[in-house]
Amino acid sequence: MDLGGTASIAAAAAVVGAGLGAFGAVRAAKNTGNSQRRSQHEHWRRQTRADAYAQFVNATEELAPVMSALVRMEDSAPADLPERAAEARRLMSALAKANNAVALAGPDSVAAEAMSVARAYGLTLRGTLVRLGLEQARRGDPPPSAHWPSLSHFRELARAALDDPDGALEQQP
């Protein structure tokens, strides 16, 4: 083989090597970009969930004392009962909106617990307003209750969801 042939082979090898190097660099940049995009999405998801969970807890804690006062009222209620009932309805509406935010943020286990808490507050409010004569009883209404679930289980699930880097809670039925 002459010197020109060897130079041609070396040049071809250099071109192939440069092409493979460029392909590897592009591939590595793409992998880095995908990893960064995934990391940013996970951060956004955690923040969205944290905001939704905090909104739900705050709405529940704001409603709780108002509900407690309504539930403790006797049938002969004070003159400001309509205002108190209106405040309870307004706060219940805020809790329903916060519950919707949790339902969107997920995961399903946390959303189901939030729904359970919101439903219990709603049923308690409804039963209390019927008892106090501010709403008419409807067929199928559950009996009034002065008991609603605590937020402790919701908080446990929410905390677990925020601390779940592998998304294990997402796969739960």
**Residue 26 maps to a domain:** no
Core vs surface per residue 145-163: b (16+ CB within 10 A) or e:
eeebeebeebeebbeebbe
**Residue 50 maps to a domain:** yes
**Residue 77 maps to a domain:** yes
**Residue 163 maps to a domain:** yes
**Residue 72 maps to a domain:** yes
Domain extent at residue 59: 46-171
Whether the predicted pLDDT of 28 surpasses 80: no
| Total domains, the chain | 1
**Residue 2 maps to a domain:** no
Q: What is the pLDDT of residues 114-167, one digit of tens each?
A: 999 999 999 888 888 888 787 776 666 665 555 556 777 788 888 888 776 666
Between the CA atoms of 53, 58, 64 and 70, what dihedral angle is there, to the nearest 10 degrees?
-120
Residue 119, phi then psi, degrees to nearest 5:
-60, -45
Whether the predicted pLDDT of 101 surpasses 90: yes
